[in-house]
Amino acid sequence: MRFSWTCLRLCAFLLVSALPAARANTLTVISVPSGATVEINGLIVGTTPLSYKMPGAYFHKPHASFSTRLEHPIVVRISHEGYASEQVTITEGPYVWRSFLGKTDGNYFLVKTEHFQVNLSPLKSVFTGNPAISSEKTNGATPGSELPVETIAKQSDAAIVRVEGNLLQGTGFFLTDTGVIATNRHVVEGQSNLSVIGHDSRRLPAKVVYTDPDMDLALLKVDGSGFPHLTLAALDSVARGESVVAIGDPGGGMADTITHGIVSGIGPYRDAGSGTWIQTDATINPGNSGGPLLDGQGRVIGITAVSRVRNDSGENVTGMNFALSAQDLIDVLRRFYPAAGVPEGTRQAGSATVNVSSDPAGADIYVDGEFVGNTPSTLHLSAGTHAIKIQSTGKKAWERQMDVLKDSKVTLSATLGPQS
């Protein structure tokens, strides 16, 4: 019997090997309007109308366990200037592959159709309502003016949602009463069958209408109206040392988990991409991503995104959690809501690269009164006005007020003369 099974397997292998190579099928993507950018699982592959070659086995059930199989879902994203993006899962599955012996040999997915069309919606039909943006420059709450944490949580809960897809979950929050939601890009990227679950346990289908290629930011849209929404605070209202609250749905924990801490720092964070970041010791767990970081008045000052558990030396660290500033979100919203401005004179989100050198080298560098390193150094400063001071023992300090523009590259070279 053992010999017979071996022969049978060998015959099956020879039979499949003798078959002609599988032909490629063409996936056709059409959009209205045409000329839209097409991404397949995050990779830009062209513009519409698009013809894209894929293995034929992606469209048909495999014939043998060693046949070519599609082992993951495919998410296509279509985006066009002036229109809301659309994210479409073009596969179905997973299906279980079973050999002729009945043995399970992994899963596979199938592309639903070789041809599909997407009608894109104009931005004005998606970005309705009005986001609430605070114009008050408090520069952190004054002592005694902060609301109790339980009050902040009670006021905010109804506007915070759990974001679920086919792979993972995260958190988001309403920006308008018409269903526009903010979250992290990594929460929704590559996900299909997105939905949000509100405080009242209602599950609403959601679609991605915007993602930022450089910042960990995404906007979702659900149908409906009358949604409670949170107020955003500009960057000038944030101060180190002020109390903050993070609310979200950590995986494996209870819903609407609250953590409390302070603002530890404000500025660029090289490990999280572009934008201005707020460091806090308020705990951010997996699943909290995309939720709001709230100040003492219950305003959103950041979107929680990432925690760091080890430093550059590989040592364990605690209390290093980061949120993308709400100012970056405000800057994005201004593209879709021109009236959603911020007061003149507020700091601009984003960062710039500043290369600093001095003669003699090894001088101390101070930015806005804080020591940041020695020359020569490359600094990543938030956009806006900064006071730069370079000093060395026995030398006259070099001082400048510098306006830093977003995404700019600046070189500073200071010659330190003798003290008078």
Q: Name residue 248's beta-bridge partners.
A: 257
Task: Give, as one character, the DSSP assignment of residue 150.
Answer: H
213 vs 189, higher pLDDT: 189
Choose the catalytic residue: 177, 216, 295, 328. 216
Please say if 229 is a catalytic residue: no
CATH classification code of 132-336: 2.40.10.120
Q: Tell me the pLDDT tens digit for each residue of 67-93.
A: 677 888 888 889 888 888 888 888 888
175-202 mean pLDDT: 90
Of residues 153 and 255, the one with the higher pLDDT is 153
Residue 311: pLDDT over 60: yes
Question: How far apart are alpha carbons 20 and 16 in whole angstroms?
Answer: 9
pLDDT at 125: 87
Query: Between 1.10.3720.10, 3.40.50.720, 2.60.40.10, 3.40.50.300, what CATH number should domain 351-415 receive?
Result: 2.60.40.10
Tens-place pLDDT, residues 371-420: 666 788 877 777 777 889 999 888 899 998 887 777 778 888 899 988 87
Where do the domains of the chain lie?
A: 22-119, 132-336, 351-415
| H or E element in which residue 340 lies | none
Asked about 186 being catalytic, the answer comes back as yes
Determine the Cα–Cα distance for residues 311 and 238; give it in Å rounded to an integer: 25
pTM of the model: 0.70
Q: Residue 345: is its pLDDT beyond 60? A: no
- The token duo for 104 is 């399970």
Residue with tokens 């992606």: 58
34 is catalytic: no
Among 31, 85, 274, 289, the one annotated catalytic: 289
- ∠ CA(377), CA(240), CA(347), 5° rounding? 70
More confident of the two residues 341 and 134 = 134
Between residues 387 and 159, the one the model is more confident about: 159
Work out the average pLDDT over 169-179: 95
Give the whole-angstrom CA distance, residue 391 versus residue 352: 22
pLDDT band at 139 (very low <50, low <70, confident <90, very high): low
- Find the mean pLDDT for residues 350-360: 81
Q: Please tell me the predicted confidence (pLDDT) of residue 220.
A: 95
Query: CA distances (Å), 249 to each of 163, 166, 257, in order?
Result: 9, 17, 6
Tokens of 148: 């109790």
What lies within 8 Å, CB to CB, of 278 at 6+ separation is 238, 244, 263, 265, 266, 293, 301, 302, 322, 323, 324, 325
Which of 80, 186, 229, 386 is catalytic? The answer is 186
Query: Strand 37-40 vs strand 75-79: parallel, antiparallel, or unpaired?
Result: antiparallel
pLDDT band at 2 (very low <50, low <70, confident <90, very high): very low
Tokens, residue 171: 């958190």
Q: What is the mean pLDDT of the chain?
A: 82
Q: Is the pLDDT of residue 102 over 70?
A: no
**Stretch 171-195: mean pLDDT:** 91
